[in-house]
Amino acid sequence: MRFAPDQHLHIGSLIFDRLDQIDLTGPYEVLSAIPNATVHIGAKKMEVVKDFHGLPLYPTTTLRDMPKLDILHVPGGPGQQNLMEDEEVLGFIRRQAAEAAFVFSVCTGALLAGAAGLLKGRRATTHWASMEVLPLLGAIPVNERVVIDGNWVFAAGVTSGIDGALRLAAMARGDDVAKQIQLYMQYQPEPPFDSGTPEQAPPHILARQRDAVAALTAARIETAKRVGEKLGLVSSVVAD
Amino acid sequence: MRFAPDQHLHIGSLIFDRLDQIDLTGPYEVLSAIPNATVHIGAKKMEVVKDFHGLPLYPTTTLRDMPKLDILHVPGGPGQQNLMEDEEVLGFIRRQAAEAAFVFSVCTGALLAGAAGLLKGRRATTHWASMEVLPLLGAIPVNERVVIDGNWVFAAGVTSGIDGALRLAAMARGDDVAKQIQLYMQYQPEPPFDSGTPEQAPPHILARQRDAVAALTAARIETAKRVGEKLGLVSSVVAD
């Protein structure tokens, strides 16, 4: 257990236009239940932020006004692609990550962390469809749902954030706190199909989904190559 | 598969003060990915709605302006307790449920549906801590994570909404659509502990969580008794 029970924790989640909302809200369900903690939702401006399917969210603070965080949470989604050279957002991530006890990356939030120069030599994971982007930003891709590297917790794609957040809650306040949150959330999943990973999905489903994200994946690769070279991040490790 | 592929679907989710946000957002991740559909987020007024831990959401429409829905989605959370005699919200639920192809209840959203008089004689489920409330509203409690009764889909507590939404997506547009959504969401859960149900949780964790919700549960029982009697809903079936 990392924090003393009487230490009030500041947890901060970044939100941005066209994020994937459950990268924020899956973890939020867990993080907001951690005792003696405040969760801040930070955006560039105090205005509605829409997820990539249109869900309207609203921040509790701006990035500039975010307090010094004990836990920094970086979600992903298609909108990450527009922030790979955004100095305000990347500067926020760098600044908070430098002092946070934990950094929690969900899905393609890892690519933002990479663009901030923070993943060089780091074991990491991200959405299955973007694993090949990680080495371009200097990271060592690990094909697991939750990857822990020092004080960084990475969750793979989308719903992986819930499992990552429970691991993080346990690291922050102990196993019993995480178990009680899991019970409150009735988190005993029963996926109706076996199609949650590229390894499990029927081949025709995998092919369709790869096609659906082909253009975005190609754009992510191109951007990461450019950013990776500019920052001197390129690693030679291939995604497993 | 219930709907023709070329039929545009209107899906509508109710939000209200002090809802449990993941009852909305877990399903939203699935429902918003259903092809040829629009998801509307409806509240009483066009203003920020905060979940019970403070997450700010914003509606896309008011309840009055919500179009006729093909799928009605009713989340739950502590705020449900304040709406058990709210004619605007209960009238909205009744009106839309009467014409929707499917009604999807998540967690204690079932108690709102019960207060709207819609669960008499219906098999249903809700959050594990509120199962005993169902018979007070005329429903037959079934201790399963997802319960289907005619055109009603009930998910148990909180994160159960994701599994329920995938079942609903399959019913609406076929198994392949649900499988592709599951793959996009990388929904192959790996809960770090075995504490997601009252049956699995360590006894001391279960005791702590029961204590934590004791006052809310007692209030729910009292309100449901009053509403159930007023509407002539009482059933004699005991929760299993």
Per-residue pLDDT of B164-173, as tens digits, reads: 999 999 999 9
Please give the average per-residue pLDDT across B49-77, as a whole number.
98
User: Does A4 fall in a domain?
Assistant: no
Q: Is the pLDDT of residue B235 over 80?
A: no
Residues of A in contact with B58 (CB under 8 A): 48, 56-58
User: Does A165 fall in a domain?
Assistant: yes
Q: What is the pLDDT of residues A89-139, one digit of tens each?
A: 999 999 999 999 999 999 999 999 999 999 999 999 999 999 999 999 999
Beta bridge partners of B153: B104, B148
Closest approach of A231 to chain B, Cα-based (Å): 30
User: Does A65 fall in a domain?
Assistant: yes
Banded pLDDT at A156 (limits 50, 70, 90): very high
Q: What is the pLDDT of residues A36-80, one digit of tens each?
A: 999 999 999 999 999 999 999 999 999 999 999 999 999 999 999
Q: Is the pLDDT of residue B141 over 60?
A: yes
- The count of structural domains within chain A is 1
CA A85, chain centre distance (Å): 18
Partner B, chain A 63-102, Cβ-Cβ below 8 Å: none
pLDDT at B237: 54
Q: Is the pLDDT of residue A236 over 70?
A: no
Q: Is the pLDDT of residue B9 over 90?
A: yes
Give A228's contacts (C-beta < 8 A, 6+ positions apart).
A114, A136, A137, A138, A234
Backbone angles phi, psi at A103, to 5 degrees: -115, 130
User: Does A181 fall in a domain?
Assistant: yes
Average pLDDT, chain A: 96
User: Does A81 fall in a domain?
Assistant: yes
pLDDT at A34: 98
User: Does A222 fall in a domain?
Assistant: yes
User: Does A237 fall in a domain?
Assistant: no
Backbone angles phi, psi at A170, to 5 degrees: -65, -40
| B111 secondary structure, DSSP code | H
CA distances from A62 to A13, A15, A67, A78, B139 (A): 11, 10, 10, 21, 46
Banded pLDDT at B5 (limits 50, 70, 90): very high
Partner A, chain B 131-190, Cβ-Cβ below 8 Å: 145-146, 156-160, 162-163, 166-167, 170, 175-176, 178-180, 182-190
Angstrom distance (rounded) from CA A40 to CA A61? 7
Banded pLDDT at B2 (limits 50, 70, 90): confident
CA distances from A150 to A70, A117, A124, A127, A133 (A): 15, 16, 11, 20, 21
Give B235's contacts (C-beta < 8 A, 6+ positions apart).
B120, B121, B135, B138, B139, B140
Residues of A in contact with B166 (CB under 8 A): 191-193
Q: Is the pLDDT of residue A237 over 70?
A: no
Interface test with A, best of B30, B47, B51, B55 (most A CBs within 10 A): B55
Angstrom distance (rounded) from CA B137 to CA A157? 40
User: Does A83 fall in a domain?
Assistant: yes
Beta bridge partners of B50: B56
Whether residues B32 and A53 touch (CB distance < 8 A) is answered with yes
The domain containing residue A31 runs over which residues? Answer: 9-231
CA distances from B175 to A43, A202, B21, B105 (A): 37, 12, 27, 20
Please give the average per-residue pLDDT across B167-180, as a whole number.
98
Name the residue with tokens 């279960």.
B206
Whether residues B193 and A208 touch (CB distance < 8 A) is answered with no
The CATH number linked to B133 is 3.40.50.880
pLDDT at A239: 57
CA A52, chain centre distance (Å): 15
Contact B133, B101 (CB under 8 A): no
| Residue A107: active-site member | yes
Please give the average per-residue pLDDT across B9-15, as a whole number.
98
Question: Taken in order B221, B226, B227, B231, is the CA torsion positive or negative?
Answer: positive
Angstrom distance (rounded) from CA A181 to CA A108? 25
